[in-house]
Structure 1
């Protein structure tokens, strides 16, 4: 397969899986076994493309949050002032940053074996179904709650780190369902908060990784054409995927994603012993 086509496919996989609750890291690790391992800079580029897509989608909300600190209006965001909502985003990111540094200093490295990814996909499927059921019961009892509490914000920060430690968990799935279990019964509100927290988190992680690449001199041998193709593919695909997801969750639960994760996890466990 031509190199540019491999890069295109990896960009598309990243764009589809980064914000859908099915694990981008897990899918990319599996895809690289088929398409070949790529440089750290390549992986940074396709992740950056996905981040920019979400920034574009939430540009109006980000503008509202920014303006709330400049005294140019403090609009209501899911039942709370925009400035309060922004502080909670900052708190969630702060928890992620502190715990992320601790994990990094401890020398933790992501495993690249398929088996733990498969189990994370399967266990995550059960977690998603349980969260949906509990959130539905709470919504029936107390009505829909879109407001983000401080408890939700802090737990979402913890969930981001947990998802980073266990590939296959899915950052978006972990954060969305922690928000649903911690008190936000609105799927739309939980999803928006999870995606907005992901913006500074992923930008910070990307900047950290770029510093490592710059120090190592790895960029000198990079195939910039393939990298550019993958970056654009990731950005466009992520934009379409997130737009679709935001429409989908208005009338559907996340059950279909849980089924997908379960089936994929079982298939991987079945194939691993054969060496496939």
Structure 2
């Protein structure tokens, strides 16, 4: 990979990871359109460690609070009424589905699912899921956005299953989980906050698991250690800013703004594919 490619794609990863536009879809599209080759699922997964580090730093106090409460409750039954103890279990249980499916469907995710026709179609179709979630979601559940008091195991399982859809480039991890939260009548802010916490185990596992493959040209373009480190750092900085902006945005604005962008991008990609300007695979 060239340095320009690494810098551009890493910044794009940081910008789109937490927005409901599909970071994997964007990297798949723009790496082919601008640089003539798919960077590969492994490069994407490793650079995601930078955006995941941004989540860890941004939510550091929340994460420490949840971990401490979880361990206290694990060894002391009197502490199990703590909402943070239950929240720890919600993150663990909600992360199981994507871990299982991601491992079993590893080859499919890296090959067939990365066809750009699929990405373009999914970008468009899933936009209507956003619109439907906004229309049907009453957002009247008493789930407190900061500490997520009122969240249930059912919420964790449903949003965890929705997160699995992000394995298909074009869906969006945050878009899928936030939409599921809206269908469960949670507020956008509460759904977004739990979506970010839920992504931590999945993205960390994916990035660490894919680290050796990032240097193997057979699973995408290979990158040097220096390129991966710089790319991860860029994704961290841009991703941190994106988190702060998005959490403020969803308090007052709907996902419809992103749905419109996704439809336009999907149609553009279809046009480029039909004209033979970019290859589907």
TM-score (normalised: structure 1): 0.85
How far apart in 2 are the matches of 1:53 and 1:17?
13
Of 152, 155, 158 in structure 1, the residue corresponding to residue 155 of structure 2 is 152
Shift in Å at residue 215 of structure 1?
9.3
Partner of 1:55: 56
User: In the TM superposition, what whole-angstrom CA distance separates every residue of 1:53-97 from its partner, at most 9, and x where no partner exists?
Assistant: 11111101101101113439x9xxxx9711011111111012222
Does the 8 Å contact 1:118/1:264 carry over to 2? yes
Residues 135-183 of structure 1: CA deviation (Å, up to 9, x unaligned): 1xx23xx56544322221111121122220x210111101111121134
DSSP 3-state at the match of 1:69: helix
Contact 1:52/1:235 (<8 A) preserved:
yes
Count how many residue pairs are aligned between Structure 1 and Structure 2. 262
Question: Counterpart of 1:250?
Answer: 251
Which deviates more, 242-251 or 207-216?
A: 207-216
Give the whole-Å Cα distance in 1 for the aligned partners of 2:261 and 2:28: 17
- Distance in 1, Cα, partners of 2:10 & 2:114: 19
| SS, match of residue 148 in structure 1 | coil
Instruction: Determine if the alignment matches structure 1 residue 11 to structure 2 residue 10.
Output: yes
Check the 8 A contact 1:4/1:229 in 2, yes or no.
Answer: no
Structural mapping, 1:57-76, within 5 Å:
57-71=58-72
1:125 shift after superposition:
0.9
Say if 1:213 and 1:29 are closer, same or farther in 2 by CA, change over 3 A: closer
Over residues 161-215 of structure 1, what are the superposed CA-to-partner deviations in whole Å (9 max), with x where a residue is unaligned? Answer: 2220x210111101111121134x2111111111111000111111221255689
Partner of 1:112: 114
Q: In 2, Cα distance between the equivalents of 1:172 and 1:149?
A: 19
| 1:121 maps to 2:120 | no
1:229 matched to which residue of 2?
230
1:167 aligns to what? 169
Q: Give, in whole Å, the separation in 1 of the partners of 2:7 and 2:244.
A: 21
- Whether the 8 Å contact between 2:52 and 2:204 is mirrored in structure 1 is yes
Which residue of 1 is the match for residue 101 of structure 2?
99
Matched residues in 2 for 1:40 and 1:105: separation? 10
Contact 1:99/1:158 (8 A) holds in 2 = no
- Give the aligned partner of residue 28 of structure 1: 27
TM-score where L is the length of structure 2: 0.83
1:222 CA displacement: 4.0
Deviation at 1:216, TM superposition (A): 9.5
Specify whether residues 44 and 98 from structure 1 end up closer, same or farther in structure 2 by C-alpha distance, changes over 3 A only: closer
Residue in 2 that maps onto 1:177: 179
Q: Which residue, out of 60, 82, 88, partners 1:86? A: 88
Aligned mates of 1:15, 1:179 — CA distance in 2: 23
* CA distance in 2 between partners of 1:85 and 1:104 (Å): 29
Give 3-state SS (helix, strand or coil) of 1:253's partner. Answer: coil
Runs of 5+ unmatched residues, structure 2:
145-149
Cα deviation 1:30-74 (Å, max 9, x = unaligned):
1111224436664343111111011111101101101113439x9
